[in-house]
């Protein structure tokens, strides 16, 4: 093989032909070569951006009137709705169609799961769901950390019409029952 001198003005294609002149192709192997279909590219950055936007759509820094009627009980009713809706929700009028258990999670994990859960409920047409936030028995100062955060996150969602503390059989002060918009009310 010849080494190309620095500053040589020869044609690169001719040099390549000269170098490959002694190359002999391999004999055919007789096997079928299956062409693999090209996979569609996964838009990972867009997916990360969407997840971040969903997570950021629920802020921890919302001040609101919890509407506590009896001590620590969480109660919320969207403006313009009848108090009868809240009464029915408290009494278990609607069947619980889905449930999310958040207790034991960090607030970052809980917020992300809550966003995914509510989006899935809207897609599936769920009307009444239970969210278990825990009673805070294992947290610092034995206070329910997720309880008020879940309430703050819920009121920021348009599909949430009302929520209240679950009945004792459904988790009591460690859970909240949430009423979501029905398909008819979305329009």
- For the domain that residue 116 is a member of, what is the CATH number? 3.30.1370.110
pLDDT band at 137 (very low <50, low <70, confident <90, very high): low
pLDDT beyond 50 at 65: no
Q: Which residue from 80, 164, 64, 182 is spatially nearest to 127, judged by alpha carbons? A: 182
Residue 29 lies in a domain: no
pLDDT at residue 177, rounded to an integer: 93
Q: Percentage of residues in the chain with pLDDT exceeding 70? A: 76
Residue that is written with structure tokens 């995914």 in the block: 116
Per residue in 47-61, pLDDT (tens digit) is 877 776 666 565 555
Residue 12 lies in a domain: no
pLDDT band at 63 (very low <50, low <70, confident <90, very high): very low
More confident residue, 187 or 115: 115
Residue 79 lies in a domain: yes
Residue 130 lies in a domain: yes
Question: How many domains is the chain built from?
Answer: 1
pLDDT at residue 51, rounded to an integer: 73
**Enclosing domain of residue 158:** 72-186
Residue 179's DSSP bridge partners are 128, 162
pTM for this entry = 0.60
């Amino acid at each position: 093989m010849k080494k190309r001198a620095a500053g040589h003005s020869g044609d690169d294609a001719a040099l390549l032909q000269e170098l490959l002149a002694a190359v002999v192709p391999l004999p055919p192997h007789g096997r079928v070569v299956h062409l693999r279909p090209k996979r569609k590219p996964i838009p990972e950055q867009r997916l990360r951006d969407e997840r971040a936007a969903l997570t950021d759509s629920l802020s921890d820094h919302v001040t609101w009137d919890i509407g506590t009627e009896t001590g620590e009980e969480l109660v919320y009713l969207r403006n313009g709705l009848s108090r009868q809706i809240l009464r029915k929700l408290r009494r278990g009028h609607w069947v619980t169609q889905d449930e999310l258990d958040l207790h034991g999670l960090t607030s970052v994990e809980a917020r992300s799961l809550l966003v995914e859960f509510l989006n899935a409920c809207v897609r599936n047409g769920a009307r009444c769901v239970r969210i278990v936030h825990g009673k805070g028995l294992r947290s610092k100062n034995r206070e329910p950390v997720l309880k008020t955060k879940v309430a703050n996150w819920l009121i920021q969602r348009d599909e949430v019409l009302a929520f209240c503390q679950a009945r004792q059989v459904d988790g009591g002060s460690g859970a909240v029952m949430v009423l979501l918009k029905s398909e008819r009310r979305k329009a």
